[in-house]
Structure 1
């Protein structure tokens, strides 16, 4: 007796395809993630200091400018106004830190705006957990 595996294979292929379609593409690439240690070094050295913009609920990192939570349109407009004075090649580091990246409501709208405005050297601070665990507890510079 010959078994027909075609229906099972078809279900597996459809399932895999649906999983691929459910994955969200982030508006940043891995090369646009800046490690906290590197930003801390730049702040400490005072050399090649980027513009640092808080797009979350608070201003924690030394030398950063607070915009407010970019999940709100009025703060996206504040970010647009702020960066309109910057060169498109200016190094700009965005950070939030309210929660892990996967849950953060602020980083995607802000980073998408920077992409749409044509900035070429903007980065997202790689805060994987939250600002306390990934910045403050590491002893990095705060306001």
Structure 2
């Protein structure tokens, strides 16, 4: 009677581990929305440079306060814009990247952005994990947003 649920739990854990192993960042660099919302509201800690690597229309509709937009990194233009912008930054800057265009495991933007910035030598690089999308995992939770460009 208890064997079936245990087997199901085991299968779920394996699938989650497999999904995480395909991400180019270590789990310590993945941020949960509630943790990051607390971090940005706590002004006594180190500040982060927040970068949206999603689509322009989503950014203009609402984004994390203070975030900068550097194009959809699934496009050549967006990828080039991100790299050009980041080229002038000290490699010690605390960066947080996010997208939120779609379910995180299918996002075409977050992994290329992380890989590019990591390859450029940024050491304090973290990824905001929005499992469903920005609206569901950030806006609907009441976390702060800013509209416009």
TM range, smaller chain: 0.7 to 0.9
* Alignment correspondent of 1:65: 68
- What residue number does 1:54 align with? 52
Q: Deviations over 1:28-74 (max 9, x none)?
A: 11111012122212322334220000000132111100112110011
TM-score by length of 2: 0.75
> Which portions of structure 1, spanning 4 or more consecutive aligned residues, are displaced by more than 3 angstroms?
none
SS of residue in 2 equivalent to 1:41: helix
1:43, 1:62 within 8 Å by CA — same for their partners in 2?
A: no
Q: Which residue of 2 is the match for residue 36 of structure 1?
A: 33
Larger radius of gyration: 1
For 1:129 and 1:28, the matched residues in 2 are separated by 19
CA contact 1:69–1:106 (8 Å) conserved in 2: yes
**Cα distance between partner residues in 2 of 1:40 and 1:114:** 23
Q: Distance in 2 between matches of 1:121 and 1:89?
A: 6
Q: Does 1:87 align with 2:90?
A: yes
- Listed as ranges, the matches of 1:8-47 within 5 Å are 25-47=22-44
* CA distance in 2: counterparts of 1:52 and 1:96, whole angstroms: 11
Which of 127, 130, 135 is 1:132 aligned to?
A: 135
Partner-residue secondary structure (3-state), 1:112: helix
CA distance in 2, matches of 1:89, 1:37: 25
TM-score after normalising by structure 1? 0.78
Question: Deviation at 1:112?
Answer: 0.8
Q: How many equivalent pairs are there?
A: 122
